[in-house]
Structure 1
Amino acid sequence: MHPLRIALAAALLATTATTATTVTTAGAAPAASRESSLSWTTCGPATDQTAQCAWLRVPLDWSRPTGRKINLAVARHPAADPAHKIGTLLFVPGAGVSVVNQVATPWHGGLGLLPELVDRFDIVGIDPRGGGVDLTYGSADATVHSASLDCARPFNDPAVSRFPADLAGYVKLLKHNRAAAASCDQDLIRHLDAETQARDAEALRAALGESQLTWFAWTYASLLAQTYAQLFPDRIRALVLDGPLDHTVPTATYVRTQVHETEEAFGRFVAWCGRDPSCALHGQDIPAIYDEIVERANRVPLPVDGLDHAITGEEIGYIVMYVLENGTIPAGYGGWIDLAYALANLRTGDTTGWAGAYATTLAPAYYHPYRAGGCVDFPRDITTYAEFQALRRELAQLAPHTGGVSDSWDYVSGCQGWPVTSVAPRRPVVVHDAPPTLLVLTRHNPLAPYDLATPVANQIEGSTTVTYEGDAHIAYFNSPCVRDAELAFLTTATPGVAACADGT
């Protein structure tokens, strides 16, 4: 999951009551667990005081189990209603995000939108390898965190374009990528892939003494969860994937689809703005305004208070991409209403608020583990200058306004020259003897497009799907109907509705 969505959830929970329906049928509980072998301690004074934290010691390289070990931070929030506890739920929100703080104080990570989950499950999470951004902004910061990649150089350099139009720019990009990767912990950066993290999750299950875990995973983490289900299908009681993505499609197909969906999302934002008087740019030529903002910032980057550099149009484009995914959620929570205000302000040179958006999109705490993980888990078959330029030109035609910004292009460009080999699956990650699995697919999703999400259902035997017909990246945040369906499945392991049209 992208951090803007989790930050959004933290704000949303402060003012919005959940609309989810309480589920009273718990389903079959897993076998009684053994005593945990972890040494639990408090997570610190800033966290929920019922939460517990510990260190999980695992091999750096699971193919060499007797080799170097590393410590991963884990957190557990005991079920608030132990008399009706179902089991243990592993929460996996995605790459580049610190999970410990969200589990230790679950109201900050979005889980509070379904308090029944906090009531009925012990919630656990592993701070990812390489660390991640703290989306509680210190308000619920735990005292233990997994080590960062310790990169000495930022992966995002505003002076290095992701869209170089000539050979000199491409060579500059290659040199930057190689130097950025070389500045990190060289052992850790090579062991961030989905299978490695799936085996970390299995080590946590064993350390907890649980026979099975219930999994709740979002977007990028769907590959991790799917890999775990392939390796250890009998260790999962129930699995919910919100916004899954098939990582086995060819790179060019992956990129074209995401770029097309991002441009479509921009068009849907423009159409909404034309209909809704609450839009700060209502009645104006938004495509022309946006194009002018990006072009001007690329010519003369815009200074931002609290940021160490002026932001370029390219950086604005990537931040806008992540806001486009949020749809028409209420003002103040990072959706289309806020995007319209932000663009109206940028038009006059006002960059208020963009430092925070940058920090949860392109700054090292998030961007280092996100990019490094992507470079090992994303297929890399665009490897020559000619292939790169041919696809770049095609994307410019596909996306005349958004220009080709997408997660996948970030990987294509950011992983050029990357010194670590990709281990992305070359074949579908098929799960036989699958646990009860619910896939939530969103019709309009720039980051996990519908056409790239639907194949996952065919890869997990017997899985059930719910389609959200609106605009979202994580439908959980946009749709009470989806939340109800996910809650019902997590608590009963049985499917409910097949489609949700609320919030469109």
Structure 2
Amino acid sequence: MIRRPRAAVALVTAALLLLTGCVSPPTRWAGPISGRPGASASGSTAPGQVNWTPCPEISERKLPNITFECTTLKVPQDWAAPNDGKTFDLSLVRARAKGQNNKIGSLLINPGGPGGSGVEMATYLAAALPTDVLFRFDIVGFDPRGVGRSSPVECFTDADLDANFGADPDPQSQADFDALVGLTGRMARSCGDKYGDTLRLFSTEQAARDMDAIRIAVGDEKLSYLGYSYGTLLGATYAQLFPKNIRALVLDGAVDPTQSSVASSEGQAKGFERAFDNFTTWCKSNGTRCPISSDPRGLVTQAINNARGNAVAGAGGRKATAGWVFTAVIASLYTEQSWESMAKAMDNLRKGNPAGIFELADSYAERDASGKYSNLFDANLAVNCADDDKSVTVEEARRLQGEWRQKYPLFGASLALNLVCAQWPGKRDPYPKGKAEGAPPIVVVGTKGDPATPYEQTPALANMLGTGVVLTWEGEGHTAYPQTRCINQAVNSYLIDLKVPAAGASCPAR
């Protein structure tokens, strides 16, 4: 799921999973510009002219057959004015397997978010991708502009993020709603006060143009790319801007660029309701692993209600408020492998122990044990709000909150409350929405049980691009590659040999 203003590869690690897409804090959802004068990446860096230096410390795990090298690439802040002397620094990592042969080039990756670190993603994928791919490609990860190590956007305090994640996901009284509007408005103003007119420069189109600068810098004639969740939107934008510069694009966990932010939020509300129903079915069939199997939905709803007036306190007095409980539920639905953890966390919560709730929620929020946050959600909001030229108003959000509460009882009200973008001070820079004329076939992967980027968006993205080919996984969770042999074989054949999956290709859950 795209992390939207309130807020993966599932089998790699839980931390990686939570980078590939999300709603925004405290879980508020997740005309075409085909080419602007002076917006070409050509000439930004001579082909292959970046200096890579060893950086084994970039990965916490020691991978004996993988070497890591890092570099920094300067790109124009505004691709519409590339020669004005203002630049951002992009942080890149290259993971290279020993024993490569018949090398094709680099595989550029993006984990989604927006706000997820491609540098961190590359270190995980270096251990998780099939060896057939590792032997043919360098894995190149980058933190997009504004993210992590790349001229990061930093405008939210830890206290405001705590308050936002911990806030009631469905504030019904006018006083409670107004308090949330006040909090999110203060957060929006803090970004405007610090960054002013430059906020629009963190848009998806600007980042897509950065990708072509990276392609040139690493010396690839054409781009091979693997994008997850929001990374599919980034890849689709690249395909429209630079269709003839593409070798192969895999877009996994598709985002439909033609949807409005309201439609996207409602799609996520449907997707999470569906995922929770799937969790309920699993739970009732696995009672020994699911201690809330008697009534999962009722018990989760009750836990959120109880937290409104009687939040359980954990270590150090931190309280598991309704917002934190809700965030833990959202986090656990990204992958089937987290369902058992969520069930046990809910069971322990009703016994007075919120530790499991905090563990799930903090992993999702990128909050460490000392209460410090990464800049994931600062960047997430900067990108989402810059992209969205038709944000809801506060009044519209309040109306949708009531309507969606009835339609999507557990998730609808919260996903209606896109209150930061409703008050965003920055100018907007919407991404293009159209055909990728002249592009080769692009593989668009969709998971039937995906809550964050519901499967319905997969054919929509493929159809919009015009050259998209759908590959379906009948599984659960957010994104599919590299999770099963069937999916791996199809994606590997495309990446390595450019063999496109057959029309209607589908892989079983396991």
Q: TM-score, normalised by structure 1?
A: 0.82
d(CA) in 1 for partners of 2:397 and 2:14? 40
Aligned CA RMSD, in angstroms, stands at 2.9
Match of 2:262 in 1: 252
Match of 1:394 in 2: 403
Deviation at 1:395, TM superposition (A): 1.1
Match of 1:462 in 2: 467
Tell me if structure 1 keeps the 8 A contact 2:487–2:507. Answer: no
Change (3 A) 1:421 1:315: farther
Q: What secondary structure does 2:13 align onto? A: helix
Q: 1:266 aligns with which of 276, 296, 313?
A: 276
Structure 1 moving runs of 4+ over 6 Å: 1-4
Q: 2:349 aligns with which of 326, 346, 353?
A: 346
Match of 1:135 in 2: none
Tell me if structure 2 keeps the 8 A contact 1:90–1:125. Answer: yes
Match of 1:202 in 2: 212
Unaligned runs of 5+ in 1: 14-32, 133-144, 330-334
d(CA) in 1 for partners of 2:314 and 2:90? 35
Q: 1:175 aligns with which of 182, 186, 192?
A: 182
Q: What secondary structure does 1:191 align onto? A: helix
| Paired residue type of 2:116 | V
Deviation at 1:403, TM superposition (A): 4.8
Change (3 A) 1:110 1:269: farther
**Equivalences for residues 260-339 of structure 1 within 5 A:** 260-281=270-291, 283-305=293-315, 309-327=318-336, 329=337, 335-339=338-342
Deviation at 1:120, TM superposition (A): 1.1
Match of 2:430 in 1: 424
Change (3 A) 1:8 1:320: farther
| Residue 100 of structure 1 pairs with residue 106 of structure 2 | no
Deviation at 1:121, TM superposition (A): 0.1
Deviation at 1:245, TM superposition (A): 1.0
Q: 2:50 aligns with which of 34, 38, 45?
A: 38
Q: 1:500 aligns with which of 489, 493, 506?
A: 506
| Paired residue type of 1:487 | N
d(CA) in 1 for partners of 2:359 and 2:298? 26
Tell me if structure 1 keeps the 8 A contact 2:56–2:67. Answer: no
Moved more, 156-165 or 94-103: 156-165
Q: Deviations over 1:342-390 (max 9, x none)?
A: 22112212222433433332343122222222222245342141x2222
Match of 1:241 in 2: 251
Deviation at 1:259, TM superposition (A): 0.8
Q: 1:148 aligns with which of 152, 168, 175?
A: 152
Change (3 A) 1:346 1:282: closer
Match of 2:104 in 1: 86
Deviation at 1:179, TM superposition (A): 2.3
Q: 2:131 aligns with which of 103, 115, 119?
A: 115
d(CA) in 1 for partners of 2:263 and 2:274? 16
| Paired residue type of 1:231 | L
d(CA) in 2 for partners of 1:293 and 1:110? 39
Change (3 A) 1:477 1:286: farther
Tell me if structure 2 keeps the 8 A contact 1:43–1:51. Answer: yes
| Residue 75 of structure 1 pairs with residue 93 of structure 2 | yes
d(CA) in 2 for partners of 1:191 and 1:402? 32
Q: What secondary structure does 2:73 align onto? A: strand
| Paired residue type of 1:391 | L
Deviation at 1:468, TM superposition (A): 1.4
Moved more, 236-245 or 267-276: 267-276
Q: Deviations over 1:144-190 (max 9, x none)?
A: x3232222424532465454435444443333233223434416543
Tell me if structure 2 keeps the 8 A contact 1:61–1:67. Answer: no
**Equivalences for residues 365-444 of structure 1 within 5 A:** 365=374, 366-378=376-388, 380-385=390-395, 387-406=396-415, 409=416, 412-425=418-431, 428-444=433-449
| Paired residue type of 1:417 | Q
Change (3 A) 1:390 1:181: closer
Moved more, 77-86 or 344-353: 77-86
Which structure has more relative contact order (CA 8 Å, sep 6+)? It is 2
Match of 1:57 in 2: 74
d(CA) in 1 for partners of 2:482 and 2:291? 25
Q: What secondary structure does 1:458 align onto? A: helix
Q: What secondary structure does 2:340 align onto? A: helix
d(CA) in 1 for partners of 2:126 and 2:329? 22
Change (3 A) 1:63 1:304: farther
Match of 1:125 in 2: 141
Moved more, 123-132 or 435-444: 123-132
Q: What secondary structure does 2:313 align onto? A: coil
Q: TM-score, normalised by structure 2?
A: 0.82
Unaligned runs of 5+ in 2: 17-44, 368-372
Q: What secondary structure does 1:249 align onto? A: coil
Change (3 A) 1:206 1:388: same
| Paired residue type of 1:250 | S
Tell me if structure 2 keeps the 8 A contact 1:41–1:52. Answer: yes
Q: What secondary structure does 1:51 align onto? A: strand
Tell me if structure 2 keeps the 8 A contact 1:250–1:379. Answer: no
